[in-house]
């Protein structure tokens, strides 16, 4: 019985093919001209096209807004012909705001005077908040703008507290 030792290789080593007598055949085949197939031409064209167009804008991208700091910028277009209309609208808005402020200040003054008048008519010169609100509702429509009774009562409470604080100062 003959024992043969097996040749061992290092980890990751690649096996090498032994050269055969057919090397002369391979060299003869490599000297021959090979045909350029249509599939090879197609693959070559696709490879070149992919390299040439990478990082460029394609069709339809030009219409979208540009990316600035990673976000697509959505600005507003301004036309100078509409500026006259905007100025007149802004003046109207300003006058409406001023009118609303005037209405609020008038209602504050009216409410203060009305509260004093109603409290002076009562012998004890003090009323519960709900009774005061009921008397104000009978004499004026100040609370008609409020959506609920709770809101109007809270508004009245704040005003009465402010009146009392101002009276003490």
Q: What is the chain's pLDDT, residue by residue, as a tens digit (169 residues)?
A: 566 665 655 554 455 555 555 555 666 666 676 777 888 889 988 888 887 766 666 566 666 666 777 777 676 666 666 555 555 556 666 666 666 666 656 666 677 787 778 878 888 877 787 888 788 777 777 777 777 888 878 887 887 777 777 666 5
Model pTM?
0.33
Task: Give the residue extent of every domain in the chain.
Answer: 89-168
Token pair recorded at residue 122: 């009562």
Distances in Å between the Cα of 63 and the Cα atoms of 38, 57, 60, 73 are 37, 11, 6, 12
Q: Do 102 and 110 touch, CB atoms closer than 8 A?
A: no
d(CA 76, CA 83): 14
Q: Do 96 and 89 touch, CB atoms closer than 8 A?
A: no
């Amino acid at each position: 019985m003959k024992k043969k030792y097996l040749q061992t290789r290092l980890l990751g080593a690649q096996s090498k093919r032994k050269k055969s007598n057919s090397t002369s055949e391979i060299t003869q085949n490599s000297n021959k001209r090979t045909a350029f197939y249509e599939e090879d031409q197609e693959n070559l064209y696709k490879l070149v096209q992919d390299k040439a167009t990478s990082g460029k804008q394609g069709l339809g991208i030009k219409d979208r807004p540009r990316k600035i700091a990673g976000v697509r910028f959505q600005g507003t277009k301004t036309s100078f012909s509409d500026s006259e209309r905007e100025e007149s609208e802004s003046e109207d808005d300003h006058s409406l705001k001023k009118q609303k402020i005037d209405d609020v200040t008038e209602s504050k003054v009216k409410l203060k005077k009305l509260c004093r008048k109603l409290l002076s008519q009562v012998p004890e010169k003090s009323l519960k908040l709900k009774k005061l609100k009921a008397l104000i509702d009978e004499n004026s429509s100040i609370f008609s703008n409020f959506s609920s009774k709770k809101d109007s009562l809270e508004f009245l409470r704040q005003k009465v507290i402010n009146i009392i604080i101002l009276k003490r100062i």
